[in-house]
Amino acid sequence: MPTPEKTVDSQTNLPARELLKVYDELTALNACNAFVMQALAAALAHGGGLDERSATGAVFCTQWLNDRTAELEQQLKNIVSQAYEKFGSGNNIR
């Protein structure tokens, strides 16, 4: 059976764990975004532009990136709200 101290510690670390998870997801999202931007820039730089299939893929990919970014922003807002609820005005948040 967990001790009350361990329970408090695990509850205190919950926002930190969630924040690390969001950080990992944000890092992966950033890598995907960079790949898409480089591919688009290369296609445009070579003057050929994008064929219809590539353009359709780019539209779907950018929509996914936008949706995922919005989801991560909401997750971060939720984590910050939880931290403020736990620690008060934010003076104890590090």
Q: Tens digit of pLDDT for each residue in 5-30?
A: 554 455 557 678 888 898 899 999 99
**C-beta separation of 71 from 42 below 8 A:** no
- Segments making up each domain of the chain, as ranges: 4-87
Q: How distant, in Å, are the alpha carbons of 25, 43, 52, 93 from that of 90?
A: 25, 47, 50, 5
Enter the pTM of the model.
0.65
* Angle value at C-alpha 36, between 80 and 21, nearest 5 degrees: 25
- Measured in Å, how far apart are the chain's first and last C-alpha atoms? 30
Q: How confident is the model at residue 71 (pLDDT cuts 50, 70, 90)?
A: very high
- CATH no. for 4-87: 1.20.5
